[in-house]
Structure 1
């Protein structure tokens, strides 16, 4: 069969990685309008990263024309590449998410590359099917999860397909890419809430604005109806003279009724001390209510004989006061100070003897929270709630992520108070009523009704009612995330609100918890959830169709002839199916009538979920085997089906990563790479995507690895040969230096990859060599595994960066070897003398260079802070790269990038060696866990692009030479 002519894509050559990572990290703080606020999903990829990866995956690298003999020289290719980089820099900014000018430039570049590719393949036998210059290929993500990647593919102009085995994930994707385009440009049909003026956007219902407005309107109706039915369970609190006694802060509210925001509860168990065996003592993590300066508040347990009560106190908690009753080692009885082990607490919980007691009330004051002591009336009122239904589905036996079964909370229903169950069932049931009202409203507004529902592809009044129901069902599900007994109170000065249940990917055991008032406008209120969803809908792209289906990645056929980018499960990191049941039980109650097939099962399907969970598969080895086989099958599907003109991008997130001797590895990482290669892919690149840290890339004393790695894969040729271990090592020696030089910024024109990311990024070119062959054979004839290949790849990186490789002067080689042994500490002159003679120099010569202190039979390298501030490389007759590198660090840290650039302009020929030495020294410091030293080298590289730009502005003659950026 005729081979497809596939130009290298930009992502296979270079990326402006720093810009992408900075935007992805910043995006973590964006809430209002972000698609993640539509509904919670764990480990969702940042939009910035997804958008950049897809764009770079679609556009041709300008260098391909030179490779095909088109006459484009290296410099011209770099200029064109920089233009694509600038599109990416603009594209990843949150402010430009819906900027049509920026998106237009991106789409134009995508179309230009696509037509070039179609032209190259115009004589291919499948040209009509695969290379239609008037139609872009569609996109597919077979592990769609939270939907960030399909959404961004749609935004870039591709018809987008998403599939997942998890029905919650499928619903999220439908809500993001499938539903909005069906109702784009439609005006709202619901009545305005009473007293509300006509919306300002009345003349502009473009995109999904009308849909979003109706979600608000019918969400408001739901809240009003819920209040009529269960509002008596959420009474206001009257500030009586009795409450004011001793509380001057309450004086302004005398006889006023304040809205309760939350009730704060403590779990209790019987005291283990026989003298207080009838007393239910509190289990409290912290008695602090507010840490805001000048408005501190806390709860004091006041003991009176053989009982106690809770009183709210203002001001700072006295030194020696009870911080809480539960610590990491166990709990303490407040009545007798008797220790209560967790074993005891668990036994009480499993025996059904764990109770709750109201600890404090949080009310809404005049622009601040008002904390009140509990009342018996409030406690009795909560006990009156009588739920008619609760989710009886059993929590999984997963000791890592689900802690509540250890304490007798065994079902999902056990995670909610009776009042929370009443509220959640009420709102879930109201979704159906709101759906019917939206259907009626749509018909009255003149929307044609074909009688076809949303699940069957409808786009009329019936489907519109279903669509409103979907988003309001999500609002009810979002409410569950703020309405359970694993939600705690955040007393931090900038918060003072209810934390959601899923602060991380687990259902934790909480001791004290916050029960929110779902009728309010606070974080625990229903209308707040509706508003988050509406703002998210407004920003969704609506101009192209999208489709989301429930499919197994191992057997799906949706990927045929499509661009593929995906974010699959990461070994054993997250048990999505188990966690999703928390929401599934509520979404199913709301939306089963809309999507009967999707919600046909009582719980989320789990048997085929590709997660290496030992408790589900009978042990660690069995779980690893299940993951490897299943992931291989799923990725093989992609290798066989994906459009041959494009590489496939696959995300992998690190969890328990280790960095040893400069190598990055983990069981999950190795197993994942094995699956990718076994599936028939060769790996052409690995890009570290950092989403957690915006500035400093290394924590104190820790290795701060990238959040995820994006693997760039091409289908391995069926004619791929085998190679010996010796030849593999030879190829690493020959090809890795050029690839590493490109990565650190010497050739491609890209911003350099920071040293902290180099170990991960450089796996790409190494694995590209390894994975292009059908096998690498060891001396005994066995196939080399990924783990051994990674060891050799990392060794090649170390060899390239080492000053002993011959690329550095003898002074620098001496300093590097001495630094590796002693750091900045003092060593014996005799040892230094032997080392210097081996390098063909003398200790005195190194001291004369100004980088070493020698005397009294002791030798010590000077720290960068000790270097001369008036140093001028143009007048220094002995300037080792070691000195130049540390002078650059001194100048950067003391005076900034402009000064460092001016210094570099005086020694442009030393730019590349300085940068390479900084990479080497960072790697060395990281291995030795010298965090502070590592930071200096990392920050020099992180600033390198701007330092070089500053050096070009100096205007000295010759400053351009040797400074690639």
Structure 2
């Protein structure tokens, strides 16, 4: 735990030393942030916010620990007491510490609580933490789906619903009794309960909201199951139990023999499990003349999938299974058949839960089950809230990267399901709309809307397990050595991409993974934990749909803004949530008119994206307005609006993460151009997001305040010196606070821009304005220099740029793999490009980049010192002559001080057992002999031969 004192004189000067109400007082975010505590907390259930995030499907979730730290550090001044209590509140969630912090916030802001605004509220995590801190929390988002998510988390759970009349439904429904029986200690079905808790059966003394949400979910499930009886026949042999899932596959006509066959990616139904003597199950295709039939067998599959990539190769293709054909169809041909309307769905297998073993058992469909599925008729459905009963809204052009089915000929959001699935969801949406009308007669309009909102949110949860992208997930191993659970896969594979599969699971109205009862239990458990966490008397947050470029607030009315803007091109929020939006319009049009009545729709009937601030991949090619230029201009406009509504002494904290340094530069430029002074940047290792564009592991909380008026013009040389001094001074503080060296590199941006922000602009002697990128590079270089690395008598500055980077990389990361984004940031320390480092200095791996310690290629006079030393280490097993040849090949003096300083340094830095260290230690001991041989050999050239002893692998 940090023991840093209150804000120092130097830090006070750096932030202006402002304490009166006409200026901007220093806040903790300007000088300190609990980075180590956040890093630790995000790995815990409480600090990660798993319950809060589990309440609703949204993207790029913000961990509770980081949001809490950002809110508290933005509100409070820098004192020792505040630092200690924030560390306890963030790391351990201590209630006593939070109470003390709330008390100090109340004292500081007087009778009226401070107003904390999030202009990109998403699921409402920041707004929730603002209410827990005792502030008035306001969150806005352009997306109606995100706004709904925020209300479910930070609005409805904080309201007092105790005076509401009782609901007109009995909680003791057959659906609830079934759940209670499943959870009883003696029940053979107990393990099938999603959480092992009571789920829909309820608990005595639970909060009113939780109990009533439970009742409404149960009522929806009961009505849906009743109305869908004809579509999903039960199994008389299992007491009428309805199967939990059905395995389907798309079929195509063969170009070789014209016979139709299914596209199957895996023949495994359930892997074996030795511990329970489970042989597993596999799918087979039985060919009978011109037709095929599915067959389920025990054991491992004996047939190859019909849609897969050849062993050891990439790129899937479809192979006709008829023995006298075997024609292979490329992926492009398969896609073309979809656009030509040649896809037909076929049911392959039915999945049930054995009541005796709780095992997921597969069997072939019965004739009545196949007939029931074939009878699914969408034309028989009636409209919902004046809309078509299922989403006929077209998937917009250019969405094949994030709605993958659109790349295979599926053109509407309704087509992402087979007809029977669509009827199930349409029935669910209509029942929720009907319940809203009934509830309005019994309870307040606000409570009716809240209860139906939770019910509708369950549709989004079920969509994750119930489209053509929901693969059958069969855990375990073919040898039976691992648990072999079977469940429906998540359609969101990488934060936001809606995946596609030709063989997919249809989850029915029964009980099992992905069914209504299962996702209801998950929702209720998440809501229960959120309610238990809300232990403070706090008013609900106010969440509304609005645009960040037109904030609906008067000038200078907001105390603090804490926000998490879109991450450039990493997630297409609206495009990926339109699937949910299309269904919410039908279920909630009457309940939430401000979000789903259609008045706010875009021209395509989906969410309005005209002011969505993202970079849409392939925008220019597809005629989409969400280009890089659009993102930058709109982000600047939103920050200008933030500046307008923020009080003169207000602060703004922006949380941002991206692997591309250019994205960082644009964000920081938008802040400064909008009239803010960046005061700090605090990294947190909160992310494991793989988005299809990049992998990020770090997000940064950036502190900013309103730029004071009448700032002077700065002279480049003077400002450069101030930046270097400021960063090096802060490095000493960061060391004391336990901030890791790689995190200090990112924190240096804020320290540098804090200095730059004292000036209206910085110019060179010829009047040219100095770029922001210059100070980003200078800041990182100052951190590197602050480490005060000296190799023998050679300071780091005298080495060539590639060697400087290698030395500093080794100091920070050692032999670890570094994500590509962080590697690019690292290269900025010496204004280097990662492309130039790949090969001579770095090796690319699956995880990113790693510093090379193996033998280099051929050495030349232009080779870096680091390459020369690596060559000497690699060639040492051949003796002193080979090691000396590396010096002559690179045309280095035998007594080159940099070479021998690096040999000595690396020999002490590497682990004792490392073969490179062993070789360099021998080189060091034989220095005199190597030098003598190099002198006598003159310019003799010997190529360096890589040795397997030092090979690097990816």
Q: TM-score range by the shorter chain?
A: 0.7 to 0.9
Query: 1:282 — aligned with what?
Result: 262
Query: 1:574 — aligned with what?
Result: 571
Secondary structure of 1:410's aligned partner: coil
Query: 1:598 — aligned with what?
Result: 595
Deviates more, 1:81-90 or 1:190-199: 190-199
Q: Residues 186-585 of structure 1 correspond to what in structure 2 (within 5 A)? A: 189-190=166-167, 191-194=170-173, 204=205, 209-237=207-235, 259-273=242-256, 276-277=257-258, 279-294=259-274, 295=278, 296-318=280-302, 321-322=304-305, 324-325=307-308, 328-335=315-322, 336-365=325-354, 366-387=357-378, 388=381, 389-398=389-398, 399-442=400-443, 461-493=444-476, 495-504=485-494, 505-517=496-508, 519-538=509-528, 539-540=530-531, 541=534, 543-558=538-553, 560-585=557-582
Distance 1:649 1:835, change over 3 A: farther
Query: 2:752 — aligned with what?
Result: 766
How far does residue 620 in structure 1 lie from its aligned partner after superposition?
A: 9.1
Query: 1:458 — aligned with what?
Result: none
Distance 1:375 1:802, change over 3 A: farther
Query: 1:710 — aligned with what?
Result: 701
Query: 1:161 — aligned with what?
Result: 138
Secondary structure of 1:741's aligned partner: helix
The 8 Å contact of residues 170 and 550 in structure 1, kept in 2 or not, is answered as yes
The 8 Å contact of residues 193 and 221 in structure 1, kept in 2 or not, is answered as no
Q: Deviations over 1:422-447 (max 9, x none)?
A: 111111111133234444554xxxxx
Distance 1:807 1:325, change over 3 A: same
Secondary structure of 1:34's aligned partner: helix
The 8 Å contact of residues 373 and 420 in structure 2, kept in 1 or not, is answered as yes
Query: 2:74 — aligned with what?
Result: 57
Query: 1:445 — aligned with what?
Result: none
CA distance in 1, matches of 2:670, 2:950: 34
How far does residue 264 in structure 1 lie from its aligned partner after superposition?
A: 0.9
Distance 1:717 1:180, change over 3 A: same
TM-score (norm 1): 0.72
The correspondence for 2:727, drawn from 736, 753, 757, is 736
Q: Deviations over 1:859-901 (max 9, x none)?
A: xx8643369x9xxxxxxxxx9xx99xxxxxxxxxxxxxxxxxx
CA distance in 1, matches of 2:71, 2:950: 35
How far does residue 711 in structure 1 lie from its aligned partner after superposition?
A: 1.3
Q: Deviations over 1:52-94 (max 9, x none)?
A: 22122222212xxxxxxxxxxxxxx5x8744542343222xxx
The 8 Å contact of residues 715 and 764 in structure 2, kept in 1 or not, is answered as yes
Distance 1:633 1:846, change over 3 A: closer
Distance 1:706 1:325, change over 3 A: closer
**Structure 1 residues without counterparts, runs of 5 or longer:** 63-76, 92-101, 119-131, 240-254, 443-460, 659-664, 853-860, 870-878, 884-929, 936-965
TM-score (norm 2): 0.72
How far does residue 184 in structure 1 lie from its aligned partner after superposition?
A: 4.2
Matched, 1:783 2:769: yes
Query: 1:24 — aligned with what?
Result: 42
The 8 Å contact of residues 680 and 754 in structure 2, kept in 1 or not, is answered as yes
Q: Deviations over 1:786-817 (max 9, x none)?
A: 3343333333333334624999999x999969
CA distance in 1, matches of 2:301, 2:794: 61
CA distance in 1, matches of 2:711, 2:44: 43
The 8 Å contact of residues 722 and 773 in structure 1, kept in 2 or not, is answered as yes
The 8 Å contact of residues 247 and 350 in structure 2, kept in 1 or not, is answered as yes
Matched, 1:112 2:104: yes
CA distance in 1, matches of 2:164, 2:395: 43
How far does residue 525 in structure 1 lie from its aligned partner after superposition?
A: 1.4
Q: Residues 876-895 of structure 1 correspond to what in structure 2 (within 5 A)? A: none
Distance 1:363 1:337, change over 3 A: same
Deviates more, 1:705-714 or 1:411-420: 705-714
Q: Deviations over 1:196-248 (max 9, x none)?
A: 6999998745xxx2111111112112211222211221223456xxxxxxxxx
Query: 1:171 — aligned with what?
Result: 148
CA distance in 2, matches of 1:112, 1:934: 55
Distance 1:622 1:385, change over 3 A: closer
The 8 Å contact of residues 264 and 503 in structure 2, kept in 1 or not, is answered as yes
The 8 Å contact of residues 72 and 86 in structure 2, kept in 1 or not, is answered as no
Query: 1:927 — aligned with what?
Result: none
Secondary structure of 1:543's aligned partner: coil
The 8 Å contact of residues 391 and 585 in structure 1, kept in 2 or not, is answered as yes
Distance 1:291 1:187, change over 3 A: farther
Q: Deviations over 1:751-776 (max 9, x none)?
A: 23253x44333322233333443223
CA distance in 1, matches of 2:728, 2:36: 22
Matched, 1:35 2:52: yes
CA distance in 2, matches of 1:23, 1:737: 28
The 8 Å contact of residues 16 and 751 in structure 1, kept in 2 or not, is answered as no
How far does residue 572 in structure 1 lie from its aligned partner after superposition?
A: 2.0
Query: 2:645 — aligned with what?
Result: 641
Secondary structure of 2:629's aligned partner: helix
Distance 1:396 1:850, change over 3 A: closer
How far does residue 6 in structure 1 lie from its aligned partner after superposition?
A: 4.5
CA distance in 2, matches of 1:805, 1:154: 52
**Structure 2 residues without counterparts, runs of 5 or longer:** 1-17, 181-197, 382-388, 477-482, 808-863, 877-882, 926-948
Distance 1:229 1:799, change over 3 A: same
Q: Deviations over 1:126-145 (max 9, x none)?
A: xxxxxx42332021111111
Q: Deviations over 1:459-485 (max 9, x none)?
A: xx3332222122112223332332222
Secondary structure of 2:410's aligned partner: coil
How far does residue 46 in structure 1 lie from its aligned partner after superposition?
A: 1.3
Matched, 1:685 2:732: no
Matched, 1:799 2:799: no
The 8 Å contact of residues 269 and 355 in structure 1, kept in 2 or not, is answered as yes
RMSD: 4.0
Deviates more, 1:225-234 or 1:396-405: 396-405
Q: Residues 807-822 of structure 1 correspond to what in structure 2 (within 5 A)? A: 821-822=868-869
Q: Deviations over 1:507-555 (max 9, x none)?
A: 23322111001x2232221122333333333324373132111111111
How far does residue 325 in structure 1 lie from its aligned partner after superposition?
A: 3.6
The 8 Å contact of residues 60 and 113 in structure 1, kept in 2 or not, is answered as no
Q: Deviations over 1:664-702 (max 9, x none)?
A: x1x3222222211211112122222222469xxx9xxx9
Deviates more, 1:326-335 or 1:731-740: 326-335
